[in-house]
Every structure is written in C-alpha cells, then in structure tokens.
Structure 1
Amino acid sequence: MVSQHVLVAPDKFKGSLTAAEVAARVTAGLGVPTVELPVADGGDGTVDAVVACGFERVTLEVTGPTGVQVEASYARQGDTAVVELAEASGLRRLPGGLEPLTSTSFGTGELIADAVRKGARRVVLGLGGSACTDGGAGMAQALGARFLAEDGSELPPGGAALKDLARIDTSGFLDVEGVEFVVASDVDNPLLGPHGAAAVYGPQKGATPDDVQVLEKALSRLAAVASRTHGLMGAVEHDDRPRPMGVAGAPGAGAAGGVGFAALAFLHADIQPGIEYLLDLLGFGDHVTGARLVITGEGSLDEQSLRGKAPVGVAQAAAKAGVPVIAVCGRRTLSDEELGAAGIEAAYALTDLEPDPAVCMAEAGPLLERLAARIAAERLQGE
C-alpha cells in the first residue's frame, strides 16, 4: 500500500489547546493530507478527545467535589460510554481552594448512573485530575450504596468521614448486571500504604501531613469494612497475582484518590493501561494503516511522558505498524536518546520558536502552525 497521509494523533496542550485543537493547528501548518485523531490517556481531556473522534457528548448537572452543582459531560457511542472523573470530580471543579478531607466523587457516580440508565453496556472510566481522596465512596453512594456509622446514620461526604464507617448497605445499588466496566488508567498505586492514595496523591490535593494520616486511617477503615461486611475483596480475580488485602492492594486501587478501589470492589471493573485501551477504542490501528508519518504530542514532553502518557503510547502503537513518529510539544526536557528509546524520532517544541513560556501558552495555536510548517519543510518535502 502506498503511504499517503500523515496521522495527527496528539493529546492536549494543558492550559492552552484541547487535543482536537492541537490536531487542527498541526494540520493547518503541514499543508499535506492528514487524518486527525485526537487522543487521551484517561485523564483530563478524555471526553473532549473521544467526542472529537465521533462520540456524542451528553451533558447534565451533577454534584461537584464540594457539593456545588456543576455541568459535566460524558461521551457515548452505541452502547459504549466514556466517563472522565475530572469532568465531575476534578480539581478544576473546585469553586475555591482545595478541600482534601471533604471533597467527594459523588458526581462521577451520577454520570455513570445516567449512562447505564440510558443503555450503556460498557462504561470506560478515565481516572485523573481528581479533587478527592474518598476511596470512591462518593461514586458508590451516587450508585445507591449507603455508608453508615455505628448509629445507622449516613456518613457525610469526603474521605475523612470514612474513619467512622461501620457498615456498607448495597441493597439499593444500581442494577449493573451485564454492564462491563473498564478503568483506563496507568496509575498502579494500591489504596493504602506509602505508595497509596493518601500518601502519594493527597498532598497534590492540598492534604497536610496530618491530613494524610487522617485519610490513610479512613481509607484503611473503608477497606476493612468492605472486606468484612460484603466480601468485596474477592470480587475481582482476573489473574493469579498475589494481592495483599485483596482489592485494596490491587495495582490501580489507589488511582484518583481511591476511586480505582471502588471501581474494582463495587463495579468489578477491569483496569487497563489508559492510552493503549483508548487508542484501541478510537481505532488507531485502522487510521495508522497507510500513513507515512505519525505526529503526536502533549504540552510538556518530560519524564512523566515516559510513564504511560499519550505520546509514548502512540509511538508504541505506531511502531507495530512500522510508521515513524515525531512529536510536538510546548516544551521538552527529554533528551534525543530518551525520545529515541521511547520510539519518537524527534520532537519539535514551541520553545524552539519562542523562549518565553507565557507567550507559548498564550499563542500556542499560531506557534504550533509555524512548527508544523517547519516539520513539513524538513520531513515531508519530496515524499
């Protein structure tokens, strides 16, 4: 087959451009036939990316992380729904300052419930950008679970309240029989311990060292009560790997402040590498067939990019098809050797054109078009 097009498959430039906007700007600057395929790794921007690829956006009013109502969206195509935790329960939904002890994932559960009630048989849950460390209790509450204190009263929202958890009542839980749940996440942290949700991610959400201790004890209580009262720890057995404390010790249980735990325990979800799963969902393999080049990218190409982020995932998928990959970015801290080892032949940064990061953020679109024109002149002429 004669190679014809350039496949433009970037993630967002956070704070500047959505993935779809990045793809459009690159196409405008290249001046050659392209196929635009905005991508995401399950984090912030996942819904925007899949909507740009043909999914329908469904918007509704749900409970934000502090209890204030917010407008949030999920994406739907056929009987598949893509729910992004950051849409309802993300840091960007906080109306004021960070609230690490009381923020809730309730709104994410409301999005899932709406998707299931409207006929979704597969729900993909993207985790990232969470404002809460509630072990997914809020999400489970929105789906009908009741988290009760010793006196039978319902616990208030937030992770800290779980220290008083005595019983979980799932008798009114949403009927999810026959619904497949997939968590798209590259986080492999367990729920508890030094690598757990509270210790690693709590400080990013404003938790002080004392707050981290409170949240750790509360999440430990959640795991213990769930295990004792509902046998939930044995609900997910996809392989023979040893799992300390069952689901609480499973890789990914600590994702998004422990929402991964609730997805495993209450929804029997399967955790998949975020970018790999979403590339599959978006049909990357079909689009890369016949391409002469793949252009991927994200706002910052740095060490985090090497840990399962979109550009490296795209490069690995393109390598299987034998198609070379280059990247565009706002800035880069990776060496040519590190990029090469990740399967990326070269990277073009906005800071190559404009050294002032503030200008790069403000003028990302026009600068990206200029960068794409440089790529076309250096790599696509005469082909």
Structure 2
Amino acid sequence: MHSGHVLVAPDKFKGSLGAVEVAARVAAGLRAARPEVPVVTMPVADGGDGTVEAAVACGFQRAEAVVGGPTGEPVTAAYGLRDGVAIVELAEASGLHRLPRGRLAPLTAGSRGTGELIAAALRHGVRRLVLGLGGSACTDGGAGMARALGVRLLDARGEELPPGGGALTRLHALDLSGFTRPEGVEFVVAGDVDNPLLGPEGAAAVYGPQKGAGPAEVAHLEEGLTRWADVVERELGVRVRDDPGAGAAGGVGFAAMAFLGAETRPGIGLLLDLLGFEERLSGARLVVTGEGSLDEQTLRGKAPAGVAAAAARAGVPVVAVCGRRALTDGRLRAAGIRAAYALTDIEPDTRRCMTEAGPLLERLAAALAAGQLPGPAATAPAEHHPA
C-alpha cells in the first residue's frame, strides 16, 4: 500500500450518489488539488443498500440471480462472493426501491426474494454468509425468507397463507418438512439496528410507518408478528423475539436468528473487516469518510462513525464529507472526526446539492485538500472547520 496516502472510505449519499461514485469524486478532487499525494479509494457500507456494490469495489465477485421482488414481480438481484464468503443484501431483493412504481405495500410486501438470494448464494458452497439488513419494503418478520428456504405457513384449515405481514394474523402452524438448516455455514446478520421484534421499539411500531403503514395497519402488523413469533418459537424451541436486531428489516432479523441460527454484528465493523480496511489503512496519513447527512444517526453505528473508530485505533486522523451537517465540531471530534466538509458549505441550494452532488464533491475535496493536506512548505496540518 502507498505510504503517506489518503484513504477515501465513504458510504453513499442517499438519494444522490452511491458510495463508489462518492469515493471516485472525492479522489478526483484530491488528485486535482494535490497530484503528488497518493489516493486510495475504498467505498464502504453498513449492511444497508449499497453493501454489495461496496463489496464488489473491494474485490468481491459479483453474482446475480432472478428472484421475487417485495410484491412478487421478478427482479435481478446481485450478491458478492469471495473465498467462501457470500455477502447478501436484503435491499437488492426486498428493498423499498424494488417496489413497482414506488407504490408502498405495508401489509402485502414480503421477504421471499431475500430467501431466494440466500439459496442462490448457498449453491456456491460458501462457508459463511453475511446478510446485510436495511432498506426493506416489508414487515413480514422474515416469513417470506423462511418460505423460500422450504418452510410452509399454514392457516387453521391447513392452507398456505398469502405473502406479507398482514396475513400472519391467520397463522396456525408451520410445515417444516421441506426445511433443513444448512450445515457447515455460519450466518451473520450485519445491521445497525438493535430493535426487538415486538412492542413500542419493534419492527411494526418503529419502521412500519416508513413503509406506508398507518396506525391501524401498524396494529395489524404487530398482531401478525406476535402470532408469527409465538408459532415459530413454539415449533423451533427457541426464543429470539427480544434479541437486539430481531426487529431489523421488518423482522427479517428474527427469522435469520430463529431459522438460520444467525448471530448479529454491527454492520460497519463487520463490513470493514470483510473488505480489508485495516490493510488499506496501513501507512495512511489521512482518512476521508462521509455520508449524505452527518447527524445523530451517524453516531449510532453508521459508516462514518465506524470508519473513524477503526482509524483512531491506528492513530490515523479522519475528516468527513457530507451533503449536509447537523453535528457540532465538538460532537464530531468526540466521534473521532476532526473536521467535516458539507456540500451546503459551498452550495446553499439543497436541491442543487442533490442533483449536482458529483461536481460539487470534487470542489469540496479541493477545499478539504487545502485544509488537511498542506504542501511541502508547511509542517503541520491546519485545523479547518468550515462554518
């Protein structure tokens, strides 16, 4: 790895640019301003949408499968493979962006495609499967995922339930004759959500409204998830409904724990390990991380906070780029980020910050270089906190 290089390791700017393009734009701006300083890019993700893209950029092989989208229509979804490890991203198959014409379907959207994607990855003989949870369109407790892996959901008459969380209120029993937990495979859930499955902090109450559920629908989904948990835990002899992360991705975390024995790990830490962050960090003089909005959520285990923590252990300073910034200098420094550069610093029109994020990022990176990468005549990096 280059000695004295700058490591550019941002997450996506949601709704604007993917992590790969953010990294490329920042690198271009830095190279234009300081052509003598080596720049290494490493797009990162925390398990949500963009995780497979970041993995492929870091050397994973991209594979694809045609699976069912959240409301059943076929979608082509990608996953990553390397050295016996598969990275499967729920959003690729069952994400909000996969809903036809963006129409929310809070009661009927399901996670079956995620299970089909897992099955496709398992056919490669992997020993470890990392399931990134985030951006889901469904609140079905992972019932669809379980179906794709051979579980049948039956009502009191022995007939199969239709897909979606809304139907779970009629669940009576499971037929597990077609399901076998894959042997010799370690399942890990990568997520930044520690919600339980049920209750006021659970999947339906907290995330249902984001997926289009009104108060009555949230109550109906809660009832269905409670029934699902009762039946699954009775038939499998486990109790995981209260485990942190069981409520992730509309309860897919619950099903991953119950049916696959998955353990949950903070997404960004796990992904940095898998993508080889430490190796790329070695010898770096500065790390540039970032995401669309630097705010309170950032501090709760999002990518920039994880990057900053990992860099701090190696004693490498960290600065961030973002679309907008809602954290004070003091809050940023406490998280290990010594300065933040926002697109809104150089372009007050937030709409232009979204639509012209790429060129603006290159300009922002030049300002960052001026403040953080002094030329040969200077002796110490200047502290710079744009107002």
- The amino acid of 2:262's aligned partner reads A
Per-residue deviation, residues 272-304 of structure 1 (Å, max 9, x unmatched): 000000001111111111100000000111111
CA distance, structure 2, for counterparts of residue 299 and residue 342 of structure 1 = 17
Match of 2:40 among 35, 38, 44: 35
User: What CA distance in whole angstroms lies between the structure 2 residues aligned with 1:215 and 1:373?
Assistant: 49
User: SS at the partner of 1:248?
Assistant: coil
Extract unaligned runs of 5+ from structure 2: 32-36, 377-387
User: Which residue number corresponds to residue 167 of structure 1?
Assistant: 173
Equivalent residue for 2:326?
333
Equivalent of 1:120 in 111, 122, 126: 126
Contact 2:2/2:38 (8 A) holds in 1: no
Offset of 1:367 from its aligned partner? 0.8
- Cα shift at 1:83: 0.6
Question: Which shows bigger deviation, 264-273 or 26-35?
Answer: 26-35
State the match for 2:191 in structure 1.
185
Work out which of the residue numbers 287, 290, 297 in structure 2 matches 1:297. Answer: 290
Q: Quick one: distance in 1 between partners of 2:42 and 2:2?
A: 20
Task: Note if 1:343 corresponds to 2:336.
Answer: yes
Unmatched 5+ stretches in structure 1: 234-245
Q: How does 1:231-380 map to 2 (within 5 A)?
A: 231=237, 233=238, 246-380=239-373
Which amino acid letter does the alignment assign opposite residue 16 of structure 2? S
Q: Does 1:60 align with 2:65?
A: yes
Equivalent residue, structure 1, for 2:205: 199
Q: Indicate if the aligned counterparts of 1:113 and 1:174 stay in contact, CA closer than 8 A.
A: no
- The offset of 1:2, in angstroms, is 9.6
1:145 to 141, 147, 151: 151
Secondary structure class of the residue paired with 2:240: helix
Matches within 5 A, 1:4-19: 4-19=4-19
Residue identity opposite 2:19 in structure 1: A
User: How far did residue 323 of structure 1 move?
Assistant: 0.3
Whole-angstrom CA distance in 1 between matches of 2:296 and 2:67: 35
Q: CA deviation at 1:175?
A: 5.0
The CA distance in 2 between the partners of 1:170 and 1:201, in whole Å, is 29
Q: In 2, Cα distance between the equivalents of 1:259 and 1:87?
A: 14
Q: Deviations over 1:76-124 (max 9, x none)?
A: 1121110111111010011131110010000000000000012121110
Equivalent residue runs for 1:93-104 within 5 Å: 93-96=98-101, 97-104=103-110
Tell me the TM-score normalised to structure 2 length: 0.94
Match of 1:44 in 2: 49
Residues 49, 91 of structure 2: 8 Å contact kept: yes
**Which residue in the other structure is 2:379 paired with?**
none
Deviation of 1:378 (Å): 1.7
- Percent identity for Structure 1 against Structure 2: 69
Shift in alpha-carbon separation, 1:155–1:345, aligned structure 2, 3 A:
same
- 1:127-138 alignment, distance < 5 Å: 127-138=133-144
Deviations 1:11-68 (A, max 9, x none): 0111221111111111111122111111000011111111111111111211000111
Conservation of the 8 A alpha-carbon contact between 1:189 and 1:197: yes
CA distance in 2, matches of 1:53, 1:214: 42
Which residue is equivalent to 1:230?
Answer: 236
Match for residue 157 of structure 1? 163
Deviates more, 1:172-181 or 1:333-342: 172-181
What corresponds to 2:223 in structure 1? 217
Q: What is the Cα deviation at residue 382 of structure 1?
A: 2.7
Letter in 2 for 1:290: G
Quote the residue 1:78 is aligned against. Answer: 83
CA distance in 1, matches of 2:234, 2:8: 50
Worse overlay, 172-181 or 42-51:
172-181
| Structure 2 match to 1:20 | 20
TM-score, with normalisation over the residues of structure 1? Answer: 0.95
Amino acid at match of 1:185: G
- Write out per-residue CA displacement over residues 165-216 of structure 1, whole angstroms, 9 at most, x where no aligned residue: 1111222125511111000011111001111111111111011110011111
Deviation, 1:229, is 2.1
RMSD: 1.3
